[in-house]
Amino acid sequence: MSITDDNSMNLNMLDEKGVYEAFNVDGNEAEALTDSYFELYQLLGAEAMLKLYKHYHGDKIDCPMKLYRAEYIADLAKHANDRRQRAGIARAAGYSLKFIESVLQKRKKEE
């Protein structure tokens, strides 16, 4: 279905996916979408891009450098048998071993 097929279509009654279809965007994303949403479309696909649009449009999204909380990584590293293993866990999460050990030391002092 597209806008030109049915002039009586009420666009206000459509959700984001309905508008996407009505505007005949499928296959024309590079022309139709703004640069930011086109990049999201390329990374995530149409469905995920539309979900992000629905929930966050108008908001600024901040994507921190770290995916995992330091406390979570510290809990994982605490159970490692040796320092190299702890260092590997810390590095894989984007932290230094020194920082993760400082989180563990701080926790020890608080307990």
Name the nearest CA neighbour of 1 among 13, 27, 19: 19
Domain annotation covers residue 61: no
Residue 111 CA to residue 86 CA, distance in Å, equals 22
pLDDT 10s digits, 53-86: 999 999 998 999 999 999 999 999 999 989 999 9
46 and 23, same structural domain? yes
Q: What is the pLDDT of residues 9-66, one digit of tens each?
A: 687 888 889 889 888 899 999 999 999 999 999 999 999 999 999 999 999 989 999 9
Secondary structure (DSSP) of 42-71: HHH-HHHHHHHHHHHTTSPPP--S-SS-HH
Structural domain including 91 reads 70-110
State how many domains the chain has. Answer: 2
Residue 86 placed within a domain: yes
Query: Is residue 5 in a domain?
Result: no
